[in-house]
Amino acid sequence: MTISTGTVEPTPGADQPDFKQRSSRGHWRNVWVRFRRRRLAFVSLIIITFIYLLGVFAPVIQTHDYQETNLFKSQKGPSAENWLGTDRLGRDIYTRVVWGIQTTVIITITSFITGSLFLGVTMGLVAGYFRGFIDAVIMRIGEVISAFPDILLIILLAATLRPRIVEFARNIEDSTGINGLVSSGVVDYVVIGIALLPLSWFGMMRLVRGQVLALREAEYVEAARAMGTSTPRILFQHILPNVVSPVIVAVSFGIGAVALSEVVLSFFGLGVQPPRPSLGVMIGEVTARGGASVSVLRDHPEQLLAPIIVVWLLIFCWNIIGDALNDVLNPRAR
């Protein structure tokens, strides 16, 4: 007869340092550790952070006023005074690039907060949880909007809304005595933000809706309903935390697309308007048709390098980060 001593057999691998280290960390810390091991993605994150910090601190790190013109220094090459040279009006290219980055940062963040994160996630939660008539209405509206080509719809909205929003802002300036609403670029941000809504909200809403349709039948959600938990609390405390991972991946892929859309709008003259700098405006001033622009493109193509490199880095790095996050946050890909 064998007498048990009460000793519990150790769990296989539990005495290994790596196992103990992983079990002591939280979920998001483990995600961060796995993300850091992907060197290309980590370097891309550093580059994105550096570029965005340039835009945030543009008023501090600028070397000239972005509106300052000096025709005596027109189209000069890089120098100690003008690090990236000057454009055809003698404006400092470096200063205009960092302010153009700030414009891209502001529009990207505001578009995603209002479009993808607020409108898309909220409507996806509502459509997936309630289903039925509400789901059908939201989906049909999204399908009608998404039937239009994205860039054409954005251009149409920007061209249609701009005169009305500018007129409304000027009326506010005249009636309240507040100056600078139009010249500061606030109106441009509003126009581009509204124009980019169709591009950002429907894809996020459809993603969240698909996740919620599966989660609403989970046992813990049914238990919460049986206990009388309110619907908003079920949506935002029980379901939403479980759809955060795919939302983060979708946002990382979408930010690059929004940045490119802003540049395209400004390139066609429908985005940020002078004197406010924009990467798209800078590219358009060099490549647009016309005698002056043709000569600039032919004789000084280096003026395109800085804005194009910044735009390329933003799109490339966000795609690399998106791929890495998809692998890190997707359990099937580990």
Kindly report, residue by residue over 297-310, the tens digit of the pLDDT: 676 777 788 888 99
Residues 6+ apart with CB under 8 A from 155: 195, 265, 268, 270
pLDDT number for residue 201: 80
Q: Is residue 9 part of a domain?
A: no
Structure tokens that stand for 309 in this block: 């490199």
Q: Which domain holds residue 115?
A: 29-333
Contact 112, 222 (CB under 8 A): no
Residue 295 has pLDDT above 80, yes or no: no
**In a 3-state reduction of DSSP, which class is residue 86?**
strand
For tokens 């479980």, the residue is 242
pLDDT band of residue 9 (cuts 50, 70, 90) is very low
Q: Is residue 21 part of a domain?
A: no
CATH number reported for the structural domain that contains residue 57 in this entry: 1.10.3720.10
Q: Is residue 10 part of a domain?
A: no
Structurally, how many domains does the chain consist of?
A: 1
pLDDT tens digits along 86-95: 888 888 889 9
pLDDT number for residue 199: 67
Contact 87, 68 (CB under 8 A): no
